[in-house]
Amino acid sequence: MNNLNIVEIKPFVPAKNFDVSKKFYQVMGFEMASDVSGVAYFKRGDFSFLLQDFYHPDHSDNFMMHLLVEDIESWHQHLQQSGIAESFSTSLTEIIQQPWGMRECCLVDPSGVLWRVAQNI
C-alpha cells in the first residue's frame, strides 16, 4: 500500500522588497530560520512559510494567508503594540466577528499580502 502521509505544506509568500518583508515578519512574531538564494524560511513553533524574493502586483494583491490562533485578543494587542502597521506603512484592522464563526483582524504586509488572523468562536 502507498504511504500518502503529508509531512508538511508551506506557501511561498511574495515579497516586493525582500529585506523589508523579512523585517516585517520578524516584527510580526516569526523567526527567520534561514535565508538562502532569495528564499527565507520563517517559523513559529511547528508552523512555517517561505518568503520569496518575487513580486508581481496581481499575485501579491490577491495572496492571502490565514493564521488561526488560540487568542485573537493577545495577537491583536501584540500587533498593535509592535507598531507594525505604522512602521511598515501597512494596515491592521480592529477585531470583528465573522458570520462563519470566527473573530478576526486583518493585517496587510508591505507587498500587499493579506493576513487574516483569526480565532474560532
Scanning 1-121, the segments in alpha helix (DSSP H) are: 18-28, 57-60, 72-82, 84-87
φ, ψ (nearest 5 deg) of residue 3: -95, 105
In a domain, 75, yes or no: yes
**Spatial separation of the C-alpha atoms in residues 45 and 23, rounded to whole Å:** 18
Question: Is residue 52 within 8 Å of residue 39, measured between CB atoms?
Answer: yes
pLDDT digits (tens, 9 = 90+) for 49-108: 999 999 999 999 999 999 999 999 999 999 999 999 999 999 999 999 999 999 999 999
In a domain, 4, yes or no: no
Three-state secondary structure call for residue 73: helix
What pLDDT score does 6 carry? 92
**Spatial separation of the C-alpha atoms in residues 47 and 51, rounded to whole Å:** 14
**Spatial separation of the C-alpha atoms in residues 40 and 100, rounded to whole Å:** 33
In a domain, 64, yes or no: yes
In a domain, 52, yes or no: yes
Q: How many domains does the chain have?
A: 1
pLDDT at 1 over 80: no
In a domain, 37, yes or no: yes
Whether the predicted model's global pTM rises above the 0.85 cut: yes
**Spatial separation of the C-alpha atoms in residues 63 and 43, rounded to whole Å:** 19
pLDDT at 2 over 90: no
Residue 67 CB coordination number (10 Å)? 18
